[in-house]
């Protein structure tokens, strides 16, 4: 029978129907059972850890984890960005298409508590941006706002790709200094999005999101070009901090 995975350890988990949270035998016991040397199993274990498929702890041993797509896509994505930060533009295009495609499926699942939280995020972000003494970039609110909209979808691949986007956003430092007008305009779009969701005008909410992505495209075309940052009217480190 053909093994589905190029890993004796992962094949063992699948074939023995080991559930998330269950403990695996020790590497020595697995080595005896599978007829594979411990060194090879240890290499496979490190790969499984990097993919977020298992946890390894001194007291509890090796345990399987619930499946998530995020660890695998994040590892590959961050490596790619470390080699070429301009790949962020391509990944952003993918993220935007995913959010547009799943928009209606996502927003109809939002609860009243979710909508209250979305409004609170907008209010908090605007307060941070209007603080005349010490402006704060509302990055945490920005990330949470977008992920919350899609949080009710039961699709690990969509969830993983969208969350990886925000890790990439931070990796290329899109969450740091920017033109104040950009942030104010961005949160005006966020306010429009939740207002339309409240009114069940999901088309209007999507239109506001699409306009928002165009705003972002203009910004990262400048931000990803180091030379283009010279002379841009940005907030200084003394005026702003990331929240």
Mean pLDDT of 155-184: 88
Domain 8-64: assigned CATH number: 1.10.10.10
Positive/negative CA dihedral, 60, 64, 67, 68: positive
Q: Kindly report the average pLDDT of the chain as a whole number.
A: 87
Q: How far is CA 123 from the centre of its chain?
A: 23
Helix (H) or strand (E) holding 59: none
Q: Pull the structure tokens for residue 16.
A: 């023995």
Q: How far apart are CA 145 and CA 88, in angstroms?
A: 20
Q: What percent of the chain has pLDDT over 90?
A: 71
Q: What share of the chain is helix, strand, coil (3-state, %, to 5)?
A: 65, 5, 30
The answer, yes or no, to whether residue 23 has pLDDT greater than 90, is yes
The answer, yes or no, to whether residue 104 has pLDDT greater than 80, is yes
* pLDDT recorded at residue 52: 94
Mean pLDDT of 85-106: 94
Q: How far apart are CA 150 and CA 163, in angstroms?
A: 10
User: Distances from the Cα of 213 to the Cαs of 19, 30, 94, 166, 208, in angstroms?
Assistant: 40, 50, 12, 14, 9
Q: How far apart are CA 238 and CA 55, in angstroms?
A: 42
- For the whole model, what pTM was predicted? 0.83
Q: Pull the structure tokens for residue 90.
A: 């391509």
Residues of the chain with CATH 1.10.10.10: 8-64
**Position with higher pLDDT, 182 vs 127:** 127
The answer, yes or no, to whether residue 14 has pLDDT greater than 90, is yes
E strands, 20-161, in order: 54-57, 61-64, 135-137
The answer, yes or no, to whether residue 229 has pLDDT greater than 50, is no
Q: Give the relative orientation of helices 70-83 and 87-107 as an angle to the nearest 10 degrees.
A: 150
The answer, yes or no, to whether residue 149 has pLDDT greater than 70, is yes
Residues of the chain with CATH 1.20.120.530: 70-242
Classify domain 70-242 at the CATH superfamily level. Answer: GntR ligand-binding domain-like (1.20.120.530)
């Amino acid at each position: 029978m053909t093994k589905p995975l190029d890993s004796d350890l992962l094949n063992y988990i699948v074939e023995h129907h080991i559930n998330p949270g269950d403990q695996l035998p020790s590497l020595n016991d697995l080595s005896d059972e599978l007829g594979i040397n411990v060194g090879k199993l240890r290499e496979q274990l490190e790969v499984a850890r990097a993919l977020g498929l298992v946890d390894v702890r001194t007291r509890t041993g090796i345990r399987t984890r619930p499946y998530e797509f995020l660890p695998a896509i994040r590892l590959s994505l961050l490596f790619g960005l470390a080699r070429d930060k301009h790949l962020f533009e391509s990944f952003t295009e993918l993220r935007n298409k995913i959010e547009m495609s799943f928009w209606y499926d996502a927003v109809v699942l939002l609860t009243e508590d979710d909508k209250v939280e979305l409004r609170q995020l907008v209010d908090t972000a605007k307060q941070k941006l209007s603080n005349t003494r010490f402006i704060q970039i509302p990055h945490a609110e920005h990330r949470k706002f977008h992920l919350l909209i899609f949080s009710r979808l039961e699709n690990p691949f969509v969830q993983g790709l969208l969350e990886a986007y925000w890790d990439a956003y931070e990796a290329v430092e899109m969450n740091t200094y920017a033109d104040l007008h950009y942030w104010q305009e961005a949160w005006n779009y966020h306010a429009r999005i939740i207002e339309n969701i409240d009114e069940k005008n999901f088309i209007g909410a999507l239109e506001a999101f699409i306009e928002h992505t165009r705003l972002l495209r203009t910004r990262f075309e400048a931000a990803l070009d180091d030379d283009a940052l010279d002379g841009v009217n940005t907030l200084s480190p003394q005026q702003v901090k990331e929240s």
